């Protein structure tokens, strides 16, 4: 077995384990849900936006704010990443979920699960990986 195939298998295994763990997580009690602004949703992951510097991020930067929703779009035909999940804000591409973080989200989207995402962090940094952070949530 080549190193590349081994690493791909290992990554897929970890993605499946993480997905199973999230799926089997105990739901929160009704009393704790009512005090939370997003009752019925579980945080699946928090990730930076990859590729921010290549798309509309700089142009849209002055309009972005924490708490704003973003749209996740599954790109099954992406030639660079078979699990690509694009992040759009008001119809404009901001970038993607990082390749290393997109396995569980892509799997859930492929299964037709309800996911949402929002901007949880903005940082005026020269490093594009630090500019925007999004939280991906799963409807449970």
| Residue 6: φ, ψ to 5° | -60, -45
44-85 pLDDT, tens digit per residue, is 999 999 998 999 888 899 999 999 999 999 999 999 999 999
Residue 26 has pLDDT above 50, yes or no: no
Contact call for residues 137 and 117 (beta carbons, < 8 A): yes
> What's 54's domain CATH number?
3.30.70.2330
What range does the domain containing 111 cover?
A: 3-139
Contact call for residues 118 and 108 (beta carbons, < 8 A): no
23 pLDDT tier (thresholds 50, 70, 90): very low
Count of domains for the chain: 1
Contact call for residues 119 and 65 (beta carbons, < 8 A): yes
First to last CA, the chain: 38
């Amino acid at each position: 077995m080549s190193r590349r195939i081994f690493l791909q298998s290992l990554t897929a295994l970890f993605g499946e384990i993480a997905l199973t763990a999230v799926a089997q997580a105990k739901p929160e009690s009704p009393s704790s849900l009512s005090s939370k602004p997003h009752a019925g949703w579980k945080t699946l992951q928090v990730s930076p936006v990859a590729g921010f510097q290549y798309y509309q991020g700089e142009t849209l930067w002055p309009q972005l704010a924490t708490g704003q929703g973003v749209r996740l779009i599954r790109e099954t035909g992406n030639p660079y990443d078979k699990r690509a999940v694009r992040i759009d804000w008001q119809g404009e591409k901001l970038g993607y979920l990082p390749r290393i973080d997109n396995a569980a989200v892509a799997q859930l989207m492929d299964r037709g699960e309800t996911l949402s995402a929002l901007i949880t962090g903005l940082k005026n940094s020269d490093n594009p990986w630090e500019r925007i952070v999004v939280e991906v949530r799963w409807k449970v």
